[in-house]
Amino acid sequence: MLTGVQVLLIGGDARQLEVIRRLSELNASLTVSGFDGLRTLPGDISNSELREELFDKADAVILPAVGTDDAGLIPAAFSDSELLLTDGMFSRIPKYGTVYAGMARPYLKELCQKHGIALVELFERDDVAILNSIPTAEGAVKMAIEHTDITLHGSACMVLGLGRTGLTLVRTLLALGAQVYAGVHRPEHYARAAEMGAKPFYTRDLQDYAANIDLLFNTIPTMIVTAQMIAGMPSRAVIIDLASKPGGTDFRFAEKRGLKAILAPGLPGIVAPVTAGRIIADCVTQLILDDISTRGNEQ
């Protein structure tokens, strides 16, 4: 239980509603801001205007998946108000407090560093990232079906990157009967792709594999699907870029050539917000419990 634990949750989308629900079930002392567009919130929690004094006793400050933008603005799908995270707010967080966000831009990292506040980037954790790869893969498959006129079964699919998302996506496509080419950087990933039944190749040879694919899924957040590669792809091909913005595709050249290319980061929150929210809720509540337990043992 989180009885007596002070939690401040700011902004976000439908995923955060699952976090609010879980924190309420665990009896946390919960304050939320950025949900004034909703009539009701889980646990009958009321929305508060974002003010500096809300940070005074916060054991945990929970921010959305993307944290803040480069100017400190917090995205809030359920509010028209501007939620700006300021230096003055961070100066009031207790030194034992922790800030949780899916990811953190330099603005947020610098504020935490300046004020000596612990920062946890949830999407950097293997447990969260691996579980998030499931709705990401399902969302990618959904987009592939919507934007092609062929079945995935029997199609020629290319997956670039065999990290946590790439592995799940390769496995999903293979299960659907697709022929999967896996572009990798490292020998161990080459071996893993082969073991799974995919056709591995090194990304340095990418150009050699582009001519006959129906679908390309990119998970690598650097420019890898270049104009030169796109020029060698068939006109029927569809590119679905799952990397964080701005992705790893030359979208301008793809449009010029008439290829459909879609940037699709953050699919868990779009296609399965309840599941994605539960993943975040499970992780962040356990981390808060561990933090409170550790702090109690040190006293």
Above 90 in pLDDT, residue 238? yes
pLDDT band at 21 (very low <50, low <70, confident <90, very high): very high
pLDDT band at 299 (very low <50, low <70, confident <90, very high): low
Above 70 in pLDDT, residue 298? no
Mean pLDDT across 245-253: 94
Architecture of the domain whose range is 128-265:
3-Layer(aba) Sandwich (3.40)
Rounded CA gap, 24 and 225, in Å? Answer: 45
Above 70 in pLDDT, residue 10? yes
Whole-Å CA distances, 201 to 191, 192, 240, 258: 10, 11, 19, 26
Domain ranges of the chain: 6-124+272-298, 128-265
Are residues 86 and 10 in contact, defined by beta-carbon separation less than 8 angstroms?
A: no
Rounded CA gap, 83 and 69, in Å? Answer: 11
**pLDDT tens-digit series, residues 76-123:** 999 999 999 999 999 999 999 999 999 999 999 999 999 999 999 999
**pTM, full prediction:** 0.89
Rounded CA gap, 104 and 100, in Å? Answer: 9
pLDDT of residue 297: 57
Above 80 in pLDDT, residue 11? yes
Give just the sign of the alpha carbon dihedral 158, 160, 162, 166.
Answer: negative
- Secondary structure string (H, E, C) spanning the chain: CCCCCEEEEECECHHHHHHHHHHHHCCCEEEEECCCCCCCCHHHCCECCCCHHHHCCCCEEECCCCCCCCCCECCECCCCCCCECCHHHHCCCCCCCEEEECCCCHHHHHHHHHHCCEEEEHHHCHHHHHHHHHHHHHHHHHHHHHCCCCCCCCCEEEEECCCHHHHHHHHHHHHCCCEEEEEECCHHHHHHHHHHCCEEEEHHHHHHHCCCCCEEEECCCCCCECHHHHHCCCCCCEEEECCCCCCCECHHHHHHHCCEEEECCCHHHHHCHHHHHHHHHHHHHHHHHHHHHHHHHHC
Residue 129, token pair as written in the block: 């990232």
**pLDDT tens-digit series, residues 145-161:** 999 999 999 999 999 99
- Return the CATH number of the domain spanning residue range 6-124+272-298: 3.40.50.720
- What is the C-alpha radius of gyration for the chain, rounded to an integer number of angstroms? 21
Residue 175, token pair as written in the block: 């299960």
Tokens 């949900």 label which residue?
A: 35
pLDDT of residue 294: 79
pLDDT, the chain, mean = 95
Do the first three CATH levels of 6-124+272-298 and 128-265 match, i.e. the same topology? yes
pLDDT band at 209 (very low <50, low <70, confident <90, very high): very high
Mean pLDDT across 7-24: 96
